[in-house]
Structure 1
């Protein structure tokens, strides 16, 4: 029985180690460069075939609507507003990491620029994901 338990723990730790390694290597490959001319700041899927994306192209910030057949520029945003919004979201995410967070605190979506620092953000392996799931489960049960 002890041998079976040891083999199970070793196998599980090997699988989790490989997942962490793949997440780290995969995050580097698909993250993109910070000095790239075109960067996707945020993407939101509206339906199965349509999305709205906020894209930085040089010094301009564009909101693009994309379907399976076309891409349209919906509007152009002020880059200073985006920088202020990202700073506000980063300060909110720092507060989420504290243990003093209350269950009723408002939660906002973290843009891709804020997630770039943690390759596990939003995945099952992220501690923040489990904290949010626990908070949602305890809020529903009470």
Structure 2
């Protein structure tokens, strides 16, 4: 039993070492990294096969729509406006939500108050009188 645990730990250590070595080699050769020229700032899916993306390319910020067949330039946006919008969104998510206030999940499947009300209604219907 002890020998099996030792073999397991040694096997995991060997796999971790191989992955670490492969990551270093890939980083040195630039495999898996972009050139740094193109950065996807934000992406929003619009349907099963379509999305709108905000892309920064060499200092220019472009809004592009993409489907399975094509990519279309929708607009060019000022970079400062995009940075301000991102900063506002991060600040909104960083603020704690006070107890009892509707949060980000309000109205969704993950909303606790919605499930609490649903369970209360089920209890009301199933209580024997």
Give the TM-score normalised by the residue count of structure 1. Answer: 0.48
Structure 2 stretches of 5 or more lacking a match? 105-109, 111-129
- Give the superposition deviation at 1:66: 0.7
Alignment map for 1:49-128 (pairs within 5 Å):
49-87=49-87
Correspondence 1:31 to 2:52: no
Give the TM-score normalised by the residue count of structure 2. Answer: 0.52
The aligned residue for residue 16 of structure 2 is 16
Structure 1 stretches of 5 or more lacking a match? 96-100, 107-135, 137-142
- Once residues 73 and 2 of structure 2 are traced to their aligned partners in structure 1, the CA distance between those partners, rounded to angstroms, is 62
The aligned residue for residue 42 of structure 2 is 42
- Give the superposition deviation at 1:86: 4.4
SS of 1:29's partner is coil
Residues matched between the structures, number: 100
- Once residues 13 and 80 of structure 1 are traced to their aligned partners in structure 2, the CA distance between those partners, rounded to angstroms, is 47
CA distance 1:64–1:26, change in 2 (3 Å): farther
